[in-house]
Structure 1
Amino acid sequence: MGIRSWVGSWIGRRILSRTGGQLDLSRLESVPRPFRLPLLRTGLDPVPALGDRRDAEPVTRLGKLFGLSIWLVSGYPEAREVLGHRDGYSNDVRPYVGNRDTSDAHDIGGLGFTDPPDHTRLRKMLTPEFTRRRLQRLDPLISQTIQRQLDDLSSRGPIVDLVRDFAFPIPFGVICDLLGLPVEDRDEFLELGPARFDLMSGGMGALGAGATSRTFIIQAVRRQRADPGDGLIGQLIVNNPDATDLEIAGLVDGVFTGGYETSVSMLSLGSLVLMRNPEAIRMLTDDPGSVDQIVEEMLRYLSVVQIGFPRFAKQDHELGGRRIKAGDPILVSLSGANRDPRQFGDHPDAFDPHRNPGQSHFGFGYGMHRCVGAELARMELRAAFVALARQYPEMRLAVEPGELEFQRLSIVYGVKSLPVRLHSEQTATL
């Protein structure tokens, strides 16, 4: 037995011994109230209680579940320590989600739930395709897709839904082209994406939505095994002949969902931020180069991925003055850490288009599990916001702010629809 297998088995035995062999996160019919804190928001902001808890206890125990202490890390330096510690924590949650369905679609794979050395091997398969130089080939496609959607808005106006008509089709079209997938069933996947991260129905709801999406991906990989296409799926098959269909499907699934669902949320919520900050729109129209710092500030401020992948402590240790036991699950609040005044100075709860957080925020995570598609997301966001501000600088909400419906208890935070009037009524009558 290799060291990774031994450690994983030891952690599993330690956890199961402490829970009477009953640990099965998928059995949760709903998220217990004490554990909802990092998923709660008021509009674009985490609830004040999260900031209060961070300031008082950057590492805090939320409560117990299946006999385990569940820890929340919301302070920036403490989050960086957990996310950046390569050997201190395990991400492999697969032994603890039950075995209700043995089909391939219910196997939770991909980089997010994998530990070294498997994680190292799998990430090396993806990294060459996501370098800045390699991604530059997508610039024309991204620009064309954005302009097509902006022009389509004009034909749908004067009031449009920016989620359905702008934020969704851009990243979805780009990621399908990148992977070599046919752009089909958009309406279905518009629902499947948010459902995968929505914990309103507990563990099985999210796992069920994930299985439906993974079935689509597994079938696509198996089709291309016999006839590899020109996209990423085909390249992974050709360049990694020893990789199994499930390994490739896990990687593709992570790229697919991470490549469009998070970008949908960033594009829609980012558009809402722009409408609330006319100065940012003026900066984008007058000085397109300012888009870099505006996008980085949006990534920090919005933190659409609210928590990182759960970590399991490999050994007893101290973190932020608290004693963590081996096997304890640790949740890192990315939204809480990205509002920590110790890192981001005064007024971290405000969006400041002049703030330059650089890449020190956790919008894409940190450490070995940092989002592999971060640069692709940045390319889409930069191009989309500059083009949107230029073409529709007077866009305004077409409903009262209180009428907007946001995702509830979702790991990836977003708004369900964003009705917008593209032009001021005075301009529209000219």
Structure 2
Amino acid sequence: MKAYSLTEENIKDYDKKYNLHSWSSQGNLNPLVVTKAEGIYFWDFQGNKYFDMSSQLVNSNIGHGNKKVIEAIKQQADRLTYTAPSYAVDVRSELAKRIIELAPDNMGKVFFTLGGADANENAIKMARMYTGRQKIFSRYRSYHGSTMGAGNLTGEPRRYASEPGIPGFIKFFDPYIYRAGIEFESEEAASKFYVDKLREQVIYEGPENVAAIVMESITGSNGVIIPPKGYMKGVRAICDEFGIIMICDEVMAGFGRTGEYFAINNFGVKPDIISFAKGITCGYIPLGGVIVDKKIADYFDDKTLMCGLTYSGHPMACAAGCATLDVYEEEGLLENAKAMGKILGEELEKLKAKHPSVGDVRYIGLFSAIELVKDKETREPLVSYGKDPGKVMGTIIGLLKNKGFSTYSHENMIIVAPPLIIKEEELKEALGIMDEVLDYVDKLIA
């Protein structure tokens, strides 16, 4: 095996000269050089250790360096590195079967992709093929990927580069109670308000034209917005009323993040289609997919499924997926997500009570966001939506990283979503760093 001997300076120089980094102005980049990772930590070239408090991009659920998954990849590489999707392969068959067994009991088959964006691309294609309709509803505070179709499905500012958009993509508002500007008497009342407005919008667009309503089961990077009681059931009722396909994007929230294999299980609802990715292999090898209801699976028994990818169900990725599912079960990671999630919630509430800059905290399992504000009474966000001219959030994330707490922000939110293997003492130590940095944020707004 080749031993790489590049210096830190070489690595940075080549990276900046030859790589294009996502979501970044390239000229101002100063990327951290990472050399190794294990458990909930990673290290830079200088040997500094960092808590991985966002599970990289909320995908490293089982942590870094898991030997079981690594060994499964090695063994599969020795047996069969690749074969076309038209052939049957043991690991692909096994993984599909296991996913269906974990999914809601109405689900029938899996179509494998490489990641979340192409999972969502194929989900909306299937909905259109199945219904014969064209319009797709999705929410403003959503991120579904950056390819052309997934980019149009996305609601937040990262969609702008895909516009003028593909015809037929319609946006609606999230049940974002903290910023509703309405004092609802209960979660149920809020749900009724948002569901009623959605139903009205569907009618205005012509229900006979609407193929699907697409939602992240829990809005992810746009603030971990958790549906209020009754909301998901209300959306399910709209879909049932008008024959619309309900698609739940579980790319970020799926596979244990909320303490359930699928986040939608928290709400007692069965969607028609589920897209997934990140947590199925936790980044060890790229893999995603689309899970479809039995009625949709049956539809394609005598209709051509116009979906295809060269690397669909890649054997090495499927081997990693099977091993990852073993790890969830053998290490009790869903149970740990629930137990540590309770502690995470308690600690976040303490931060909210202590710091004037913390307007709201939202959490479920090990999936959470801290919303920063200039004023708790007015709820004015620390940075305006879609704008951060002073790079305020970047400065805050940089301060966290300098102290060994690695995560990312979006708008005025800081994401806290550590690997599901985290222990109580590790969680509290990391949140102690957050506490220190929030002292700085408090001074910014004073």
TM-score (norm. length: structure 2) = 0.27
Structure that is richer in helix per residue: 1
Q: Which has the higher strand share?
A: 2
TM-score by length of 1: 0.27
